[in-house]
Structures are given as structure tokens and as C-alpha cells.
Chain A
Amino acid sequence: MKVISFVALILVLGFLFLSILVLHPVGEPVGNLDVFKARSSATSDLNNIDTMDDYFLRNGQRETGANNIVTTVVFDYRGFDTLGEGTVLFIAVSAISMLLYQMLKKKKDIAKERAFAKGTSRIVGYAAFFLYPLIVIFGAYLVVHGHLTPGGGFQGGAVAASGTALLLVGALITRKSYSTRKIFSFFESFGLFIFIGVGFLGLGTAFLYNFLANGNVDFFGKTIEFGTNPGFINSAGTLPIVSLAVGIEVFFGISIILVALYNATKKDKMD
């Protein structure tokens, strides 16, 4: 059995290494540039563009108003793929939560649970109690400043969800968490709902169209010129809203996964 798996590993590795020979160079468009010419307005800079990343680097800041071109590609130019990613995460969280959530029904079980947990790891519990708000605040910082500095919805949500893993280690979450499940799953659905809702709001032009960017409206609509600037949070249209929605969904979804997996472990083997 090990020989077969080793041979399969060598075959897959060979296939992957051979595919390096047929890769396109970095940034070369697979199709043609007519798709971008259809989207661009009169003020777009279409000179000297021969690869796809040239288009994004020259026009991304002016069209969307954000400084972080990676986030504009993820949430604005290719926002529909990000919607697919959010849906896949939602489906995974639903499947795990459906299979693994066991709730303690009797009150004496819950009390015994909490006493056992408090006895084992007091020092780690206190440290986790102080560190958890800092971790969540750092994750929220990454989410909110996603259009200015490296970060975004997924990164900030994952960092904030690692705080929940810290709470599990410090035994601050026991297995009683039915009401926690209801609150968390409400917020997770709320995040994905805001994403789809913002997409439908731009339906005058297209689904997920950035209708707030460069509009000189005070709600995330500051016009940004090409070049370096100190970074304004009040810019980039629907990008911070969608980033916030995805950050909320990722944080609560991964917290549900962690608590559901922890709920499924046996009571007497806690170490």
C-alpha cells in the first residue's frame, strides 16, 4: 500500500513539474483585451497595455478608488468568484455544524463540564482572556483597512478566528454553547446576505457593480487620483462594505467549525 501511494506521489509530482514548461508568463492575459476596453470609461489609460496586470496597475486605483490593487481584483474586478468562495465556505460550515454539534441537555452535565474545565488550565485561561480581544481587534483592523494596506476580508477573518482557537485552548468555551451557535450562525448568514445584497444594489449597471466609487458621495465615495496618497478609509465604494461582510462571515463561520469539532470530543479523555 505504501509503494502504491509513493508511486502515485511521484506521478503527481512529475505532472506538476512538467506543467511549469507550459505556463504563461506572469500577467499575460489568456484572452484578449476587448473585455477591458468594453468596461473602461473615457478617462482610462489604455496606452502601452499589453498584459493584464498593466491594465490593473494603471487603471485600478483610478477606477475603484482603492490603493490595494489585490483587493480590487478580489472584490471588484473578479467579485463574482469571491461570491463563489464565500458560498463554498458557507456550505462547508453548514455541513460540519450539521454533523458534529452535540448539545449537553442536562444542567448537572453542564455544571460538571464547567468545573472540570476551570480546574485544568487556569493560567492559560487568564492569558487567553486578555489576549482574545487584542487578536480580534487586529483581525478587524486587517478587514477594515483592506482597501489601503495588505489584508482584506478573508485574511482579517482568519486572523480573528484564530482567537477562538486560543479560547478553546484556554478552556474558556465549554460544551454548553447552544445559544452561541444561534448567534454565530445568524451573523455568518448575515455576512453572506450583505454581500449578495450589495451586489443586487448595483444591478442598474451590473451585478456587483461598484456604484459608490468616485461618486463624491460621503459614503465611501471619495475620488482618488493616480499616485501615492496617505490612504483614505472613506474611499473605494463597495469594497470596504463587501470586505466587512466577508470578514464577518469568515470569522463566525470558522468559529462555528472550531466549536463544533471541539464539541464532538469525548468527555473523559480531556487532557
Chain B
Amino acid sequence: MITITSILFIILCIVVIITALVALFFRDLLASIVSFAAMSLTLTVIFFLLDAPDVAIAEAAIGAALTTAIFVIAIKLTRRREE
């Protein structure tokens, strides 16, 4: 049965795949990190729609905050543009 929830779920899954692929094709690595954080945010909502609130809390804290911070510090140590 096609409900609003299942349509939303399919749209969110497509958004995850699109943002993950977009993160590969940027030259500026800071934009790549922002796309990665957007993917983590969408993945959190998908985990919540699958009735897993523990995993959603962990993914929100780790994906959106910690991984982004560690990646930004990492590109400050190396180059910002990828050639």
C-alpha cells in the first residue's frame, strides 16, 4: 500500500544516494564535507523511520557533529582543493 510515509521513505533513500555521489565529484573538499554531513542527516531520518531511535541518536551525534569536525580539521592539515 502506498502511503505518504512510504513515499517519503523512498525520496529520502534517493536523497542519501544522491548526496553520497555528489560528495565524490566536488573539487573543493569543504563542499564535499558539507555533502557528507547532509547524507548523515538524511540517514538519521531514515533510521528513525525504520523504528530504530538508538541508532538514529548515534548517527546524528557522530555523523553530523563529530565526523564533520574531524574532516574539517583534517583538510586544514592537508590541501583544500583536490586536483
Contact = CB atoms under 8 A, between A and B. Distances in A.
B70 A158 contact: no
B70 A257 contact: yes
B76 A269 contact: yes
Interface residues of A, number: 25
Contacts of B58: 154-155, 158
Given A151-B54, A151-B57, A158 B66 contact: yes
Decide if the interface of chain B is mainly helix, strand, loop or mixed.
helix
B70 A258 contact: yes
6 contacts: A68-B54, A142-B57, A150-B57, A155-B54, A158-B66, A269-B76
Decide if the interface of chain A is mainly helix, strand, loop or mixed.
helix
Given A254-B66, A258-B66, 17 more contacts: A150-B53, A155-B58, A158-B58, A158-B61, A158-B66, A161-B61, A161-B66, A162-B61, A162-B65, A165-B65, A165-B66, A168-B69, A169-B69, A261-B74, A265-B73, A265-B77, A269-B76
A168 B65 CA distance: 12
Contacts of A161: 61, 66
A269 B76 CA distance: 8
A70 B61 CA distance: 18
A152 interface: yes
Interface string A248-271: 000000100110011011100100
Contacts of A154: 58
A148 interface: no
A159 interface: yes
Contact of A155 (B57, B70, B74): B57
Contacts of B54: 68, 70-71, 150-152, 155
B61 A155 contact: yes
Given A70-B54, A150-B53, A262 B73 contact: yes
A258 B69 contact: yes
A159 B60 CA distance: 8
B62 interface: yes
B18 to A, nearest CB: 15
Contacts of A150: 53-54, 57
Nearest to A159: B61
